[in-house]
Amino acid sequence: MRLAFMGTPDFAVPSLAELIASGHEVVAVYSQPPKPRGRGQKLTPSPVHAFAETMGLPVFTPDSMKAADAIETFRSLEVDAACVVAYGQILKPEVLDGPRLGCFNLHGSLLPRWRGAAPIQRAIMAGDRQTGVQIMRMSEGLDEGPILLSEVMDIRLDDTAATLSERMSHTGASLWPRALAAIERGAVEGTPQTGEPTYAKKITPAEARIDWTRPAAEIDCHIRGLSPFPGAWFEAPGPEGPVRIKALMSRVSGPGEGEPGEVLDGGLRVACGDGVVRLLTVQRPGKAAQPADEMLRGFAIPAGTVLPPSSSEPPRGER
């Protein structure tokens, strides 16, 4: 089939690779425009953009797919179908109706649960035990189209957003050849979504802060769901004032006595509203992620320290 591919992050790269390996003709790749990154703020192409260039594919990076010239260019490609994976832009009906067979999206949840921008993070944060990947026919509504193909996946107790996303990206990529073959034969119309939808809104910096009054199981899910980005965080006392520290991995560590936020021992076991969570991997500002015991050798958080509760005031260095 003659295809356009639309995607931006690492999650989308396996899908593009699978389409190429399956022998489809990818005539255009669409991705978000390069963004300034790093200390030098050098414009850097997205992972999909960079991969497409290594494969010799033409890449388009319009600021908005709502612009008339972007729509005209897309429609002029005369593709059979568009495959969309975490592209990051809303597609107007003029775009959705452009390909001969339609536009199709790979989504990282079992719809209608977790429609929207952050389904993988939200599933872990909510304590879900299962999720999945689905290919759906795109419609005007947000992730509302009929489902063509699904694969259910377990969420492990040690999964982070990064580990789950990695597994889902490859499982999802493997669905494309079967889905496109059925679409080309006209053998699949899709199954309408049923049930009450939930929405995976974007993660805000404010909600990334750990609220120690919550139960340990919820805090553990919160930490793993936001790891590695943007990273759940807490404040710890430093020699020059509060320091923001990211918690990137944790585990529930049984019952314990202490007020919420109280450090119970020298291994960063922290009392919660109900139960205890042990912080396993942490990251200080300007430092690499490291095991908690390594950080504690250079930045002490003694037993008995009470980590401050959530507040609206940003910590030192983040104002």
Each residue of 58-102: pLDDT tens digit?
999 999 999 999 999 999 999 999 999 999 999 999 999 999 999
pLDDT value at residue 94: 97
Token output for 212 = 């120690």
Token output for 19 = 């389409």
Prediction pTM value: 0.92
Angle at 221 between CA 201 and CA 38, to 5 degrees: 65
pLDDT value at residue 82: 98
Q: Give every CB contact of residue 271 below 8 A, 6+ residues apart in sequence.
A: 212, 256, 257, 258, 259, 260, 261, 262, 264
pLDDT value at residue 313: 45
Spans in the chain with pLDDT lower than 70: 310-319
pLDDT value at residue 23: 97
Q: Maximum Cα–Cα distance for the chain, whole Å?
A: 67
